[in-house]
Amino acid sequence: MSAAIDVKREAPVTTDRLAAVLTLQKRLLAAKNRREAEYILVNDTAYLVKARQMLFVYNQQLSSHSSVPDISAQTPYLLWTKKVVQSLSGLFIEQTSPQVVSKEQVNPESFRQEWPSYWPEHGLWVPMVWRGQTLGALLILREGLWKEAEKQLLQHWVASAAPVISQAESKGPSASKKRVYGVVLAALILIGLCWPVHLTVLSDAEVVPKATQLVRAPLDGIIKTVHVEPNQRVEKGQVLLTLDDSALYGQLEKSRQALAVIDAEYRRSLQQAMSNPASNAEVPLLAARVKQAQSEVDFLQGELKRVSVIAPQTGVAMISSVNDWLGKPVALGEKIMAVAGSHGEDVELWIPSADNIPLPDGAPIKLYWNVDPSTVMHAQLLHVNYRAEMSPSGVVAYRGRAKLLESNNPPIAGWRGIARIEGEKVSLFFYFFRRPLASLRSWLGV
C-alpha cells in the first residue's frame, strides 16, 4: 500500500486558522457518533495544517487513518503502522503536550528502516486529554518542520475534540434502563421457555408397497437366464427368469425310453395271453408299470414347464442384481425376487433408539424425499415395534409403519428420505434440554 496519500485541503471559507478551528468545532459537535468524529479529526484537520497523513490513536491502538476507509485490512502498510503506533503510544503515554516524532524513537530497528518508505520525516504527536485521563492522540505526519504556533493550535483543536470523543464512547442506556431491559428480557425468555411445542423426532424413511408378492424357486435347479432388470416394470404372466432344463431333459428322455421298453413288453404280453392263458398273470403287472412310467414322463414334462418363472402380478421387479443370480443354484421355495406395485402406499420408518419419544398411533408425519427435497408429503403413523433392531444403516432403531395421505402422484417404491414425526406437546424448555438432562442423569446415575 502506498503511503503517499496527500490530504491537503484549502480552507472552505477563510484562510484564517482561528476561524477554521471554530468551523471545525461546530462540525465536530454535530457528529452523530465516535466514528464520524474520528473521521473529522483525521481528514478535516488538513484545513488547519498541511500534512500527508493523519492518524487517530485510541487506547494505544490505531483507530482511524486519513483516506483509509478500512483499517482492518491486512496490508503491509497497515500492519507496520499498527505496530509503530503501539511503540509510540508506550513512549508518549504520560505526555500531555504535543511531541515531535521521528524514526529514531521507534523500536525495533526494522521499523526504523521501513519508516522512509511509508511516512515522511517529521511527525507530531498531539495527546487527547480529558479530565486528567489520556484518551488517545492525533498523529500528524509531513515533510516540513513544526512551528510552535502550529503545535499550540493543534493542541487546542484536539482538546476541543476530547469531550466529543469521550461522550460518544460513553453513550448508551443508563443503569436503571439496563435493569429494566434485563428484567423484560428475562421475563420474555421465561415465557418463551414455557411455550408449548410438539416434541419431534427425525427418522429414516423408505417407500414400500402395501402388497408385495414374492417370487420363489419352483424346483431345485440352477438359474440360467434372468429376463428382467432391477426395478423394471413387468406385466402379469411375463417370464421373469428361466432355470437350467438340461438335467430335466435328460431325465425326461430316459423316462421316455423306459416307457417305450415297458410298453413293448406290455403289448407282447397281451399277444401271448391270447394264445397262452398262462401269460395273463403278467399283464396287470406290466400295465401298472406302464402307468407308472407314463406318470413319471408326465411329471417331468410338467417340471419342464415350471422352469420358466412368470410374474404373479403387474408391478415392478424388485431384485438386487442380475449378475448375482446368474448360475446360482437355488432350492425349492427359495426367495429370488419380489413383484411390487409401481407406486408405494406405505412408509417404513427407522426411529433411532437414542431419539425415541412417546409416539401415539396416528401421529402426523412430514416426509422429505432425497430425490425431491423441496416437496413435502404427509403421512400418518400406523404403529411402532416395541423391540429395537439393527436398521439397514447399521443403527439400533425401532421399526415403524406409516400410511401415505397423498392420493395424487404417490411416490415410487424405493424412494428414501427423512421423516419428521410429531409427538406430544411439551414446553420449549423440555424440548431444548431433554437430551442434556437425560445425559446428565445417566452420568450421575440417578
Mean pLDDT per block of 10 residues along the chain (446 residues) reads 43 58 82 84 86 89 87 87 87 86 81 86 88 86 87 88 74 63 87 86 85 82 87 86 83 84 81 69 78 84 83 82 85 85 77 85 90 86 89 88 80 84 86 79 74
Q: Which residues of 396-427 are buried (b: 16+ CB within 10 A; e: fewer)?
A: ebbbbebebeeeeebbebbbebebbbbbeeee
Number of domains in the chain: 3
Residue 199 inside a domain? The answer is no
- The alpha carbons of the chain give a radius of gyration, in whole angstroms, of 48
Query: What confidence score (pLDDT) does residue 212 get?
Result: 76
Residues 332, 351, single domain; the answer is: no
Task: Single out the residue in 170, 205, 233 at which a domain terminates.
Answer: 170
Residues 165, 24, single domain; the answer is: yes
How many beta carbons lie within 10 A of that of residue 365, not counting itself?
24
Residues 154, 223, single domain; the answer is: no
Residue 396 inside a domain? The answer is yes
Q: Which three cell numbers stand for residue 4?
A: 503517499
Q: Please provide residue 235's backbone torsions phi and psi, each rounded to the nearest 5 degrees.
A: -105, 155
Q: Which domain, by its residues, includes 90?
A: 17-170
Yes or no: say if 123 and 100 are a contact pair by the CB < 8 Å rule: yes
Query: What confidence score (pLDDT) does residue 174 get?
Result: 53
Q: What is the CATH number of the domain that holds 147?
A: 3.30.450.40
Task: Single out the residue in 312, 338, 364 at which a domain terminates.
Answer: 338
Residue 204 inside a domain? The answer is no
Residues 127, 238, single domain; the answer is: no
Residue 68 inside a domain? The answer is yes
Residue 187 inside a domain? The answer is no
Query: What confidence score (pLDDT) does residue 350 get?
Result: 92
Q: Which helix (H) or strand (E) holds 264?
A: helix 246-275
Residue for grid cell 434440554: 433
Residue 181 inside a domain? The answer is no
Residues 160, 62, single domain; the answer is: yes
Q: Please provide residue 216's backbone torsions phi and psi, each rounded to the nearest 5 degrees.
A: -115, 160
Query: What confidence score (pLDDT) does residue 261 get?
Result: 84
Query: What confidence score (pLDDT) does residue 420 get?
Result: 92
Residue 293 inside a domain? The answer is yes
Yes or no: say if 191 and 171 are a contact pair by the CB < 8 Å rule: no
Query: What confidence score (pLDDT) does residue 211 get?
Result: 67
Q: Which residues of 309-342 are buried (b: 16+ CB within 10 A; e: fewer)?
A: bbbeeebbbbbeeeeebeeeebeeeeebbbbbbe
Residues 127, 259, single domain; the answer is: no
